[in-house]
Structure 1
Amino acid sequence: MKYKIIKRKVYKKLIYDKLLWTTNIMDNEYLGLILGYFIGYVCFFTCFIPASIISLYQLKKYIKKIQYDIDVRPEYIKNWKHLGLVEIEQAKESMK
Structure 2
Amino acid sequence: MPLEQEFPGSAKDWLRYARGDLQLARTRKTSLILYAALCFHAQQAAEKSLKAVLIGHGIPFPRTHNLRTLLDLMVNRFEIPDEVQTGRF
Give the TM-score of the pair, scaled to structure 1: 0.29
The structure with higher relative contact order (CA 8 Å, sep 6+) is 2
| Max Rg structure | 1
